[in-house]
Amino acid sequence: MLVFYPGDFSPVCSDQLSIYQEVMPEITAQGTTLVGVSVDSSYCHKAFQGKLGIDIALLADFHPKGEVARAYGAYVEERGKANRSLVLIDEQGTVRWVYESPSSLEIPGANLIFDALDAVAG
């Protein structure tokens, strides 16, 4: 599952990824890997992971800026950042489920991840 978020070190993004880290064992038990994606550099991601104490893989959508977010409809041009979105992709690369937060301040809860996994499995 791709987890698009606006940027490292913001309070809301820090909360979002910390929440997902807490439930990571349950997510991986269902055969799912979370990959966080923002336009920050890999160096920024490494510092962010260290500060939060998380091991969620983070993809640097840095150059060309926002290319991955654009491909999944999660890039907000006027802000130059990804929206807060979740995209579940199966083993064949098919998008199976998408959630786009109505506001960059609204964290998609872990319950949405579990609901998506249940819906796709069921």
State the residue for tokens 């807060």. 84
Residues of the chain with pLDDT > 70, as a percent, come to 100
Tell me the pLDDT band of 65, cut-offs 50, 70 and 90. Answer: very high
CATH of the domain at 82: 3.40.30.10
β-pairing, 2-4 with 35-38?
parallel
| Domain count within the chain | 1
Q: Per-residue pLDDT tens for 15-39?
A: 999 999 999 999 999 999 999 999 9
**If residue 76 lies in a helix (H) or strand (E), which one and from where to where?**
strand 75-76
Mean pLDDT of 80-99: 96
Please state, in angstroms and rounded to a whole number, the distance separating the CA atoms of residues 111 and 104: 18
Is the peptide bond preceding residue 6 cis, with omega within 30 degrees of 0?
Answer: no
Structural domain including 31 reads: 2-121
